[in-house]
Chain A
Amino acid sequence: MGGQAGPSAADIVFSVKTFVAAMLAYWIALRFDLSRPFWAVGTVYIIAHPLAGAITSKAVYRLLGTVIGGVMTVILVPNLVNAPELLSFAIAAWVGLCVFVSLLDRTPRSYVFLLGGYTVLLAGLPLVTAPENAFDTAVSRVEEIGLGIICAALVSRVVFPRHAGPVLTARVDGWLGNAARLARDALLGERQAGDAVRERRRLAADAVDMRAFATHVGYDTAGSPAMADLLRALQQRMILLLPLVSAIEDHVAGLRRDGALDAATLAVLREAADWLAAGEASEAAAERLQGSIDRLEAAGAAHPAWAGLLLANLARRLRDLVALWQDCRALRADLASGAMRSPRARRAVAATGRPDLHLDVGMAALSGFATTLAVLIGCVLWIATGWADGVTVPQIAGVFCCLLAGMDDPVPAMRKFMVFVLLAAAVSFVYQFAVFPMVDSFLPLAASLGVLLIPAGVLLAIPARYLVGMSICVNVPFMLTLQSRLTLDAAAFLNGNIALVLAIMLAMLTASLVRSVGAAASARRLLHVGWARIAEAASRRRPPDHARLQQRLLDTLGLLAPRLAAATRESDLLASDLLRDLRAGLNITTLQRERRQLPGPPGARIDALLAQLADHYRGARAVTGAGLAELVEAVDACLAAVAAHAGRPAREAVLTLAGLRQALDPAAPAPRYREALAGRQAA
Chain B
Amino acid sequence: MSESSLIQIKGIKDGLLVSLGDASWNVLQSTLIEHIEQQPAFFQGARLALDVGKNSLKSAELSTLRDKLSENGIMLWAILSESPVTEKTAQFLGLATRISKPLPQEHRVSQEPVDEKTLFIHKTIRSGNRIDSSGHVIIFGDVNPGAEIIAAGNVIVWGRLRGVVHAGAEGDRNAVVCALELSPTQLRIAEQIAISPDRHGKPLPEIVRIKDGQLQAETWNSG
A associates with B: no
Interface residues of chain A, those whose CB is within 8 Å of chain B, are none
